[in-house]
Amino acid sequence: MNLTQLNFPNQTKTHPQDNFAITFAPLSLEEVYRLADDPANGAVVVMSGTVRNQTGGKQVLSLEYQAYEPMAIAVFRSIAAQIRQQWQDTNRIVIHHRVGHLEIGDLSVLVAVGCPHRSEAFEACRYAIDTLKHNAPIWKKEYFQEADGQITTQWVNCC
């Protein structure tokens, strides 16, 4: 699926208990879990993306994320709407992505889905992160340490 195939629901169509954010602040597993939790849930599945220390055999020093926030939030809303169509018992969906300069080990993205059953929660969470990676206008700049000691950078489409 590409951006032209997505339906971008506006804010009035967002489920009242879903939560979406693009932020410079550090992400919180506890907060995202709390936002996805609901007494009707049998499962809350949380996927956390972290900054790793290597990619493609190169040593990564840090990352810088940028996003076109209005469209990214619209993509998050569209993902939630699609989840609710496919897994209709879904109670809550949370998608938070960090932007700015991140160090190795920092959380870059958190996705949480609360459902009555674990299989639906796992499937919906995986769908959310996979769709976000392909459709959200989020980019990252990788800072590498080359073998000769030089620091190089490279912008790549996110996630």
C-beta of residue 141 within 8 angstroms of C-beta of residue 64 = yes
Whether 7 shows a pLDDT value over 70: the answer reads no
For residues 101 and 85, give the distance between their C-alpha atoms in angstroms, rounded to a whole number: 35
The conformation of residue 60, written as its DSSP 8-state character, comes to E
Q: What is the pTM of this model?
A: 0.89
- Compute, in degrees rounded to 10, the torsion defined by CA atoms 85, 86, 91, 95: -90
pLDDT grade for 14, boundaries at 50, 70 and 90: confident
Q: What is the pLDDT of residues 32-68, one digit of tens each?
A: 999 999 999 999 999 999 999 999 889 999 999 999 9
Listed in sequence order, the residues at least 6 apart from 29 whose beta carbon sits closer than 8 Å to its beta carbon are 46, 48, 107, 110
pLDDT value of residue 5: 43
C-beta of residue 73 within 8 angstroms of C-beta of residue 20 = yes
CA 114 to chain CA centroid, Å, is 15
Token pair for 114: 């609360």
The larger pLDDT score, comparing residue 5 to residue 80, is at: 80
pLDDT value of residue 13: 63
Q: What is the pLDDT of residues 115-125, one digit of tens each?
A: 999 999 999 99
| CATH 3.90.1170.40, domain 18-157, yes or no | yes
Token pair for 11: 């804010």
Q: What is the pLDDT of residues 86-101, one digit of tens each?
A: 999 999 999 999 999 9
